[in-house]
């Protein structure tokens, strides 16, 4: 594959803000979760005004707000406006076709990249400067679907056009439901970045709530409290939670807690509002003598490389199935596959999109 040839004549999509400023119809946002907050922050930063925020009728409850703005139902929205433009405020870009069928919707817009404030397109110069690395990674994928996903990711990051992803996206995929592997009822699951139990819910749904053991790492105090509450309410057993971070050495790290679902390690040493110091150590030190880890998941931006370096013994000896989000930027996608192969060359690596956006690009690793 000549990656440079694939991207050289790629047309960049017009900047979202420029598109929005050409519109005269009301602009409304679909969604009210973490992605909606990120989109709202971006629009405010760019001086773009949202006329309203809505959710579908079946998800509406009174007194819902976002950034002090009342959230309304779709039915109420259609009573306010005959025609309007919609910007997506959720991560399920593949569901945009639901909106396309509605007579009141004029145009649909989206931020191709949302999480961790990474709104800007990747310059082609970055690909050119690291072309040997990108081409090496291309050759590490086990199947054609992975290679197509890889190229679609790069094209989307360079152009801002999410259609490349939608062209290769397969509906129904998630962390634990895919054609790469199946999870069973005897899994020992190491959930790194457990948040409030969102992936634990997916995990339990896929294996009918049966498992051998779950180890959950979540340094964010508020997220961990919600995780603990979920476990108590569901009366779950055999789950151990720690507030430690995963790293390649024992140390203290700066950790941002004010981003909820996308809280994470601060790679520079400067503290910011909402940051705390956390204890971190290698996963090998925490879990190498535990029951054999059969499934390992990582879902955050910074520190993935260091976490895997600190889990080299687990990857060599336990050989768990791997589920790692690599779509937040172009750094992890070109370094993480190489690192995994360096630690254990027996891993077979695959790529799939779990939703129709760049940050949902997921690496799967299996032995044999």
Highest-pLDDT range among 26-30, 91-95, 249-253, 287-291 = 26-30
Quote the pLDDT of residue 133.
95
Condensed to tens digits (0 to 9), the pLDDT of residues 223-236 reads 999 999 999 999 99
The pLDDT value given to residue 262: 46
Domain-by-domain residue ranges, the chain? 16-111, 135-367
Residue whose pair of structure tokens reads 């889990």 in the numeric block: 311
Q: pLDDT by residue (tens digit) across 299-316?
A: 988 899 999 999 999 999
Please give the average per-residue pLDDT across 19-33, as a whole number: 95
Residue range 25-53: mean pLDDT, rounded? 95
The pLDDT of residue 258 is above 70: no
Q: How far apart are CA 265 and CA 247, in angstroms?
A: 10
What does the DSSP 8-state code read for residue 134? H
Q: Measured between alpha carbons, how far is 180 from 198 in angstroms, rounded to an integer?
A: 21
Determine the pLDDT at residue 277: 82
| pLDDT band for position 261 (cuts 50, 70, 90) | very low
Task: Give residue 256's pLDDT.
Answer: 67
Q: What span, in angstroms and rounded, lies between the C-alpha atoms of 39 and 22?
A: 19
State the pLDDT at residue 278. 85
pLDDT of 260 above 50: no
Asked whether the predicted pLDDT for residue 263 surpasses 50, the reply is: no
Residue 265: the pLDDT is 55
Question: pLDDT exceeding 70 applies to what percent of the chain?
Answer: 95
Between CA 321 and CA 331 the distance in angstroms is: 22
Angle formed at CA 162 by CA 161 and CA 165, multiple of 5 degrees: 130
The set of long-range contacts for 232-238, using a CB threshold of 8 Å and a minimum separation of 24, is: 238/211, 238/212, 238/213, 238/214
- What pLDDT does 254 receive? 81
Instruction: Name the pLDDT band for 268 (thresholds 50, 70, 90).
Output: low
Per-residue b/e over 187-221, b at no fewer than 16 CB within 10 Å? bbbbbbbbbbbbbbebbbebbeeebebbbbbbbbe
State the average pLDDT over residues 103-110: 96
| CB of 293 closer than 8 Å to CB of 317 | no
**pLDDT single digits (tens) 43-99:** 999 999 999 999 999 999 999 999 999 999 999 999 999 999 999 999 888 888 889
What is the pairing mode between strands 295-298 and 361-367?
unpaired
Query: Residue 366: its pLDDT value, please?
Result: 98
pLDDT of 290 > 70? The answer is yes
Residues 6+ apart with CB under 8 A from 24: none
135-367 shares the fold of 16-111: yes
What pLDDT shows up at residue 149?
Answer: 97
Enumerate the β-bridge partners of residue 242. Answer: 217
Which percentage of the chain shows pLDDT scores above 90? 79
Which pLDDT does position 255 carry in this prediction?
74
CATH architecture of 16-111: 3-Layer(aba) Sandwich (3.40)
Q: For 316-354, write each residue's pLDDT tens digit.
A: 999 999 999 999 999 999 999 999 999 999 999 999 999
pLDDT attached to residue 5: 84
What is the pLDDT averaged over residues 135-147?
A: 97
Q: Quickly name the fold that domain 135-367 has.
A: Rossmann fold (3.40.50)
Tell me, what's the pLDDT at 129?
A: 95
172 vs 148: which has the higher pLDDT: 148
Q: Mean pLDDT over residues 206-232, rounded?
A: 94
């Amino acid at each position: 594959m000549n990656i440079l040839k694939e991207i050289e004549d790629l047309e960049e999509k017009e900047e979202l803000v420029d598109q929005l400023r050409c519109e005269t119809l009301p602009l409304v946002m679909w969604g009210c979760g973490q992605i909606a907050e990120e989109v709202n922050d971006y629009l405010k930063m760019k001086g773009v005004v949202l006329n309203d925020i809505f959710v579908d009728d079946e998800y509406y409850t009174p007194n819902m707000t976002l950034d002090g703005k009342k959230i309304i139902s779709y039915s109420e929205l259609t009573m306010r406006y005959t025609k309007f433009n919609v910007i997506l405020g959720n991560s399920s870009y593949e569901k945009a076709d639901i909106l396309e069928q509605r007579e009141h919707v004029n145009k649909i817009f989206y931020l191709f990249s949302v999480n961790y404030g990474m709104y800007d397109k990747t310059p082609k110069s970055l690909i050119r400067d690291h072309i040997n690395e990108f081409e090496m990674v291309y050759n590490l994928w086990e199947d054609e679907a992975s290679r197509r996903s890889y190229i679609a990711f790069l094209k989307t990051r360079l152009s801002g056009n999410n259609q490349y992803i939608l062209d290769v996206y397969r509906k129904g995929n998630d962390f634990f439901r895919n054609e790469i592997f199946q999870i069973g009822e005897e899994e020992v699951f190491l959930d790194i970045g457990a948040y409030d139990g969102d992936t634990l819910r997916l995990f339990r749904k896929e294996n009918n709530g049966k498992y051998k053991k779950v180890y959950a790492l979540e340094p964010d105090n508020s997220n961990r409290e919600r995780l603990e509450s979920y476990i108590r309410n569901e009366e779950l057993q055999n789950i151990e939670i720690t507030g430690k971070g995963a790293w390649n050495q024992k140390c203290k790290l700066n950790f941002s807690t004010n981003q909820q679902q996308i809280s994470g390690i601060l790679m520079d040493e400067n503290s910011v509002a909402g940051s705390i110091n956390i204890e971190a150590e290698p996963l090998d030190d925490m879990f190498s003598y535990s029951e054999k880890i059969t499934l390992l998941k990582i879902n955050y931006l910074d520190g993935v490389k260091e976490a895997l370096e600190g889990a080299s013994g687990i990857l060599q000896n336990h050989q768990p199935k791997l589920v790692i989000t690599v779509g937040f930027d172009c750094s992890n996608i070109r370094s993480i596959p190489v690192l995994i192969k360096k630690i254990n060359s027996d891993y077979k690596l695959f790529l799939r999109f779990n939703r129709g956006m760049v940050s949902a690009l997921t690496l799967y690793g299996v032995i044999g």
